[in-house]
């Protein structure tokens, strides 16, 4: 019996020492594995990350600490990483009594559409239509605190400078006035004889104006205009040109002064519409009107293609490509504008006596410009 007890006691102590050796061996392997890893191979964030709290069959919750964060301190960004112009607080004149934050959404849209690198290229299609829209909306917003639909000359100068300064501080091109041929006088109503709200509403059929221009369908407006004719009718009444034409039916055409007055009165009409509509609605309506107008003409300076006309047959294509390459540098245009420009170009060739493959010339013109 004593022998059996002794054997059992030795066997139990042997198992105990074997278990302790296994635990010691596991601890040693963990320590060695940590020492073999370089500090750069294990981030402090991953060491401190908490284990998942959910069960095996549920989605695993990953701690934000283990999500990599890529920063570029002082270094260049990846090639396809988007970059945006830096913004800053503009220095204003302090003499324009307007809370610009009330129209901040329209200002941001304009700054984006006239962003510095692209303003000159997309001037005719995007930037200038939006900048002119901003001026009309600002003019209407300014007039809500008075009975006038326009600004006085001094206020127009200061407010125009502030508008440009704010746009530039948001990343817009600082040459917008030059690119879009805009001046502070655009806010004054120019030579339009009607600038007072009361006189305007007595002269113009305002209900008809709001019905036609409050909600504009882009397709219908560009095909069969609804709002634009009503605006022009109101501008003619304000300018007095309509009465002049009715009294002088034998008069042929309009003088340049009459055309300028009608244009100034059209700005007054748009100011009144901006006064009545929410800013976003007015912006959408004016952009649709601009788009319809833009797509009705070729904005490119089409000089006479003498080098194409006089080129001998073998070098004709080369001369044509050179001519088109020069035109492309002027600005970006829409597809509809490109078709109009190509048609004009084909007409110029035909009038000069070039009758061979005119259709191919037109298609090449259209495809390359677009």
Tell the residue number behind the tokens 């073998």, with chain if given.
Answer: 314
Q: Dihedral sign for Cα 282, 287, 292, 293, please.
A: positive
Which of 187, 190, 234 has the alpha carbon at shortest distance from 208?
234
* Confidence (pLDDT) at 343: 81
Which of 235, 230, 114, 85 has the alpha carbon at shortest distance from 180?
114
Tell the residue number behind the tokens 């304000």, with chain if given.
Answer: 238
* Confidence (pLDDT) at 132: 96
* Confidence (pLDDT) at 46: 43
Rounded CA separation 75/58 (Å) = 41
* Confidence (pLDDT) at 47: 44
pTM strictly above 0.85? no
User: What is the separation of C-alpha 99 from the centre of its chain, rounded to a whole number of angstroms?
Assistant: 23
Tell the residue number behind the tokens 């061996």, with chain if given.
Answer: 25
Rounded CA separation 342/320 (Å) = 12
Are 119 and 176 in contact by the 8 Å Cβ rule? The answer is yes
Tell the residue number behind the tokens 């035109």, with chain if given.
Answer: 327
Domain boundaries, the chain: 100-294, 306-369
Q: N- to C-terminal Cα distance for the chain?
A: 106
| b/e map 286-318, b = 16+ CB within 10 Å | bbbbbbbebbeebbbeeeebebbeebeeeebee
* Confidence (pLDDT) at 337: 82
**pLDDT tens, position by position, for the chain (370 residues)?**
444 444 444 445 555 555 666 565 555 544 444 444 444 444 444 444 455 554 444 555 555 554 444 444 444 545 544 555 678 999 999 999 999 999 999 999 999 999 988 888 888 889 999 999 999 999 999 999 888 999 999 999 999 999 999 999 999 999 999 999 999 999 999 999 999 999 999 999 999 999 999 999 988 898 889 999 999 999 999 998 766 555 555 555 566 678 889 999 999 999 999 999 999 999 999 999 998 888 888 888 888 888 777 776 666 777 777 888 888 778 777 788 888 888 888 888 888 877 666 556 555 555 555 4
In angstroms, the Cα distances linking 109 to 124, 287, 288, 357 are 16, 12, 15, 44
């Amino acid at each position: 019996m004593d022998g059996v007890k002794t054997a059992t006691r030795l066997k139990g102590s042997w198992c105990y020492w074997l278990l302790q050796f296994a635990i010691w061996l596991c601890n040693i392997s963990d320590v060695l594995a940590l020492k073999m890893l370089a500090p750069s191979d294990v981030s402090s964030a991953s060491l401190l990350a908490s284990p998942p709290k959910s069960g095996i069959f549920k989605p695993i919750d990953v701690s934000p600490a283990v999500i990599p964060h890529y920063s570029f301190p002082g270094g260049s960004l990846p090639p396809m990483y988007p970059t945006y112009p830096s913004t800053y607080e503009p220095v204003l004149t302090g003499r324009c009594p307007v809370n610009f934050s009330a129209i901040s959404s329209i200002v941001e849209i304009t700054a984006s559409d006239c962003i510095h690198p692209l303003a000159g290229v997309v001037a005719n299609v995007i930037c200038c239509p939006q900048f002119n829209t901003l001026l009309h909306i600002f003019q209407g917003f300014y007039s809500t605190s008075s009975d006038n639909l326009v600004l006085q000359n001094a206020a127009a100068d200061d407010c125009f400078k502030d508008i440009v300064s704010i746009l530039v501080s948001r990343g817009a091109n600082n040459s917008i006035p030059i690119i879009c041929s805009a001046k502070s006088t655009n806010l004054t109503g120019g030579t339009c004889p009607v600038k007072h709200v009361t006189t305007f509403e007595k002269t113009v059929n305002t209900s008809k104006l709001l019905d036609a221009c409050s909600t504009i369908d882009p397709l219908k407006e560009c095909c069969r205009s609804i709002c634009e004719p009503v605006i022009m009718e109101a501008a003619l009444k304000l300018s007095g040109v309509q009465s002049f034409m009715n009294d002088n039916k034998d008069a042929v055409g309009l003088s340049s002064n009459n055309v300028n007055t009608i244009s100034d009165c059209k700005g007054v009409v748009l100011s009144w519409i901006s006064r009545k509509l929410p800013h976003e609605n007015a912006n959408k309506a004016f952009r649709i009107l601009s788009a319809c107008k833009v797509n009705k003409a070729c904005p490119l300076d089409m000089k006479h293609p003498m080098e194409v006309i006089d080129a001998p047959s073998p070098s004709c294509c080369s001369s044509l490509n050179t001519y088109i390459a020069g035109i492309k540098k002027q600005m970006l245009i829409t597809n509809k504008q490109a078709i109009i420009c190509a048609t004009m170009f084909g007409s110029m060739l035909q009038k000069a006596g070039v009758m061979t493959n005119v259709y191919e010339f037109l298609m090449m013109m259209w495809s390359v410009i677009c």
